[in-house]
């Protein structure tokens, strides 16, 4: 059985920053978690802490890489559509992960979820030491080339407690994930998380 130790969010940020600082050059880090875990908030906190050390850091939200609504709901709202049709992981790979690794550039957003239109974002150059934090659900299930990963894990009970009722249909898909991240944190109670120990 894996062992867990209590940790604060601040300490987890510090630990992640320390690990990222050992990785030179341009890097892409996944902050993987259900929307209820608020991975984007944690990504922004970590990026800010990393910038305080003098390293360039930016954040990309997976929700800026949703597919158009017509494609998202083409086959209804169920766990299969949420896992396979909701987010454009291939575009994320092409425009962010591979682009920053191979070309030193990245696209902050592809699609505006609120207006259901192109985000019309401008491609941005990445400094030689840029770290991009990508935050969102099911990132670890799509064979993306991350340099470091953190999974914010929530149990079914926690997801049902914290996910709006109209989004409960997404929970079965979130429970199917079987991530093997660099860091795995229990996140049922974000004010008192626990970090899984590694061998």
Burial of residue 197, with CB atoms counted within 10 A of its CB: 0-12 exposed, 13-18 middle, 19 or more buried:
exposed
The whole-number pLDDT of residue 21 equals: 95
The whole-number pLDDT of residue 79 equals: 80
The whole-number pLDDT of residue 144 equals: 94
The whole-number pLDDT of residue 89 equals: 96
End-to-end, the C-alpha distance of the chain in Å comes to 12
The whole-number pLDDT of residue 74 equals: 76
The whole-number pLDDT of residue 72 equals: 84
Q: What is the mean pLDDT of each run of 10 residues along the chain (199 residues)?
A: 92 97 97 97 98 97 95 78 92 98 97 93 96 97 94 97 95 85 96 88
Q: Is 104 left (phi over 0), alpha (psi -120 to 50) or beta?
A: left
Q: What is the DSSP letter of 90?
A: H
Contact partners, residue 59, CB within 8 Å, separation at least 6: 40, 43, 44, 47, 132, 133, 134, 135
- The per-residue pLDDT for range 154-191, each reduced to its tens digit, is 999 999 999 999 999 999 999 987 668 999 999 999 99
- pTM here? 0.95
The whole-number pLDDT of residue 75 equals: 66
Q: What is the DSSP letter of 93?
A: I
Helix residue ranges per DSSP H, 21-166: 39-51, 69-72, 79-84, 89-92, 98-103, 156-162
The whole-number pLDDT of residue 198 equals: 73
Q: Are 79 and 172 in contact (CB under 8 A)?
A: yes
The whole-number pLDDT of residue 199 equals: 54
The whole-number pLDDT of residue 84 equals: 87
């Amino acid at each position: 059985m894996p062992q867990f130790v209590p940790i604060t969010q601040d300490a987890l940020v510090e630990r992640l920053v320390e690990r990222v600082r050992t990785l030179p050059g341009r890097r892409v880090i996944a902050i993987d978690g259900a929307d209820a875990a608020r991975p984007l908030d944690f990504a922004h906190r970590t990026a800010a802490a990393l910038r305080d050390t003098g390293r360039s850091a930016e954040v990309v939200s997976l929700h800026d890489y949703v597919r158009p609504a017509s494609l998202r709901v083409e086959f209804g709202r169920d766990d299969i559509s949420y896992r396979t049709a909701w987010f454009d992981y291939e575009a994320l790979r092409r425009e962010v992960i591979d682009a920053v690794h191979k070309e030193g550039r990245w696209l902050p957003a592809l699609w505006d979820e609120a207006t259901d239109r192109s985000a019309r974002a401008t491609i941005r150059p990445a400094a030689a030491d840029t770290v991009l934090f990508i935050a969102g659900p099911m990132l670890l299930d799509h064979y993306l080339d991350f340099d470091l990963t953190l999974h914010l894990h929530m149990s079914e009970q926690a997801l049902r407690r914290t996910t709006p009722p109209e989004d409960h249909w997404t929970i079965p898909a979130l429970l199917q994930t079987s991530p093997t991240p660099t860091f795995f944190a229990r996140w049922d109670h974000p004010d008192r998380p626990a970090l899984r120990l590694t061998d």
